[in-house]
Amino acid sequence: MQAQLIALDWGTTSLRAYKLAAGGRVLEQRSLSSGIMQLPKAARLIAGRLCDDGFELAFDEACGDWLDAQPDLPVIACGMVGSAQGWREAVYCETPADVARLGEAMVTLRSRRGVDVHIVPGVIQRSPLPNVMRGEETQVLGALPQLSGGAGDDLLIGLPGSHSKWVQVADGRIVHFDTFMTGELFAVLSQHSILGRTQARGAAFDAGAFDRGVRVALSVEGQIGPLSTLFSARSLGLTGELSASAQPDYLSGLLIGHELSALAAVQRRRNGSDALPPIVLIGNAQLCARYSRALSACGFPQAILAEQATERGLWHLAEAAGLLARSPCAHP
């Protein structure tokens, strides 16, 4: 199949490149460690001239040979590449945001190769405590067409990670989102606090310890909040009730449990109902499996896992921006 688009998911620590055919079908993909904070430094020839620009070097490494073969391929990129520290800043779009609005707001730069790179803006939510995302908006918009019944239903899309996002979608638009620094807090506590001193990391997933952490977060004791319950990751070890190998998964369950307990309370208050919305998860399969366990314990409906959300979102945004001929996104 002939390629029609090069799509880049360019974050802080990694760069993923996709060569896409009609309908967004992936022909080839690559993963590089050339995120915007760790760009290549060794100068080399690009388009016949010596270049030492890290963004140009990473771009050439990711897809230079694809462009050598097809110089007219359009290129689209999402993620931190469009931040103030990125290759070219793409100013945030305000909520509500959808494919059409983001497609119209892309920023274009001309690369050293003479190829235009179209950068997707992130999304900002204006409020007393403003919220932002870059890259997640593309994943959300890529997941919507996969859902039965189309994108018109109200639902909640979760993107677990260092900074977990919970995105409320209505009528195919991003209308609200919340951010929880659960993953980063877990890393900090495990690596730089007293809680990590007694942990034995690297063992197989301990489902029992994880579920116990979730239950504690949901218990009466958990209502006092994570600043109090976190100490139990140490005290249960000191009393011999939690082994060193079980402590990381207990801490994980405790933090995720507090995140989802707060999310459930906020959803009920916002919606004025005890019923919780349908959930779609996007992200690492193992991490999403943890969240699925905890979501069930918190009373949410069974979560659906969306696949290939980033590349599909980039395809739809390229369509909206008029970068390629319209054709339906391929779904296996």
Residue 95 structure tokens: 């909520």
pLDDT for the residue numbered 329:
53
At residue 202, does pLDDT exceed 90?
no
- Closest C-alpha among 233, 247, 41, 6 to residue 113: 6
Residue 165 pLDDT > 90: yes
**Helix, strand or coil for residue 235?**
helix
**Residue 149: pLDDT band by 50, 70, 90 thresholds?**
low
How far, in Å, CA of 144 to CA of 132, rounded? 20
Compare 326 and 132 and report the one with higher pLDDT: 132
Q: How many CB atoms lie within 10 A of CB 94?
A: 11
Helix (H) or strand (E) holding 77: strand 75-78
Over range 257-279, report the average pLDDT: 94
- Predicted model pTM: 0.92
Instruction: Quickly list DSSP for 113-142.
Output: TS-EEEE---EEE-SSS-EEESSHHHHHHH
Taking residues 162-177, report their average pLDDT: 95
- Contacts of residue 149, defined as CB under 8 A and 6 or more positions apart, other chains included, come to none
What share of the chain has pLDDT > 90, as a percent?
Answer: 90
152 confidence band (pLDDT: 50, 70, 90):
very low
Which uninterrupted H or E stretch holds 156? strand 155-159
- Rounded distance, CA 227 to CA 120, Å? 37
Tens of pLDDT, residue by residue over 107-118, are 999 999 999 999
Per-residue pLDDT reduced to its tens digit, 279-302: 999 999 999 999 999 999 999 999
What CA–CA distance (Å, rounded) separates 180 from 226?
Answer: 13
73-92 residue pLDDT tens: 999 999 999 999 999 999 99
Q: What is the DSSP letter of 63?
A: H
Reported as a single tens digit per residue, the pLDDT across 22-79 is 999 999 999 999 999 999 999 999 989 999 999 999 999 999 999 999 999 999 999 9
Largest distance between two CA atoms of the chain: 67
Q: What is the pLDDT of residue 148?
A: 59
User: Measured between alpha carbons, how far is 264 from 273 in angstroms, rounded to an integer?
Assistant: 11
CA separation, residue 218 to residues 116, 183, 253, 257 (Å) = 51, 19, 11, 7
Model pLDDT, residue 153: 63
Would you place residue 146 in the very low, low, confident or very high pLDDT band (cuts 50, 70, 90)? Answer: confident
Ordered domains of the chain (ranges, CATH): 3-134+311-320 (3.30.420.300), 180-305 (3.30.420.310)
Based on the number of CB atoms within 10 Å of its own CB, is 14 exposed (0-12), middle (13-18) or buried (19 or more)?
Answer: middle
Neighbours of 328 (CB within 10 A): 10
